[in-house]
Each structure stands twice: as C-alpha cells, then as structure tokens.
Amino acid sequence: MEARVRALETILTQKGLIDPQAIDAIVETYETKIGPRNGARVVAKAWAEPDFADWLRQDATEAIASLSYTGRQGEHMRAVFNDAQTHNLVVCTLCSCYPWSVLGLPPVWYKAPAYRSRAVIDPRGVLEEFGVTLSPDKKIRVWDSTAELRYLVIPERPAGTEGLDQAALADLVTRDAMIGTGLALAPEARP
C-alpha cells in the first residue's frame, strides 16, 4: 500500500497536479494539530482534574471544545469512562464514523468490515487480538458511533502516575486506548 501511495504521489507530482509540500503540510497537520495527541490531552486533563472529568461525562462536546478541539467529524461527542467493572469499545457498524478532531484519521482496521462486525459479535475476542485480555468478570460495553454522535473512551488511569503532570500523563494515552482496543501505557513505558 505504501509503495502504491508513493508511486501515485510521484506521478501526480510529475504531472503538476499536486504539490508535495502541500501534502506534507496536510500530513503534519493531522499528525500534530489534529489527532490522537488532542485526545490524549483531553484524557490527561480528565485524569488530573475531577471537575473537567465531570464536565466531560455530562457534556463531552462542550468540554472538548473548551480545549479548541472542534471541527468536522467531532461536532457531537460523548465520553465513556473505563473503570474496574467496565471496559468500553467503540465501533461504527455502518461505515467509519470517527472523531477526527480528537483522534485524527481513522486507522485502516477501524473501517474494515471484519472489525465492524466482530466488535459487536465478539468484543472480547477482538480485544484479545489487540493484546487486551480482560478478566472474565469485567463487562465490555460496545458503543456504535454514528454520523450524529462520536465516542471517546477515557481509559483507566494507570497506577503509579500520581506525580505526573498533564503532559506526562498524555504521553501514556494511545489512540487505541481512546477507541477501547488498547489500554493506557504504564508510566515506565512512557516515551
């Protein structure tokens, strides 16, 4: 796939149809200004500030917008919180509705029919394929995103993070943890 993309970009550039610097700027925007780093900051703030976490529970759209993370594909948000009893998993069974403003572009697997159907039918099996093994007594709640409402999973805060500031906490939050197909990183795994 990468080779195909590079070949197509080369042909389009040679024909003068695209500007490689413009493509680089778009990619850089999605990697640094729109995307999982934004969501990670939302999660870190929720972990560090109980009042913000409460606001996020009650009106995620406004709470997230207060951090200037708004735009297409993220106009109406709901935050769902993992805890000791429940693990949340997000899917869009019809297509690939996804909160771009906080998670960036959706991963290829999120759009795949296999994930979209199996996440509902066998969420525990899907999670195990992602390397997430939960205790049998932990409930899994599957949330189906739509064009009207997108979900953000707030993973459980890892143990041993009490002394970390929000920037360090955000480093522990992965895109997959905010979809529910992963867990937040342990402090020693922080990049």
Q: Of residues 96, 101, 117, 135, which has the active-site annotation?
A: 96
Q: Of residues 66, 68, 97, 101, which has the active-site annotation?
A: 97
The rounded distance, in Å, linking the Cα atoms of 152 and 59 is 12
Q: Is 117 a catalytic residue?
A: no
Instruction: Tell me phi and psi for residue 151, to 5 degrees.
Output: -115, 150
Q: How far is CA 169 from CA 65, 102, 116, 125, in A?
A: 20, 16, 30, 29
Token pair for 11 = 């042909």
Q: Of residues 68, 95, 101, 117, which has the active-site annotation?
A: 95
Q: Of residues 92, 101, 117, 145, which has the active-site annotation?
A: 92
Contacts of 4 (CB under 8 A, 6+ apart): none
Q: Is 96 a catalytic residue?
A: yes
Q: Cite the active site residues.
A: 92, 95-97
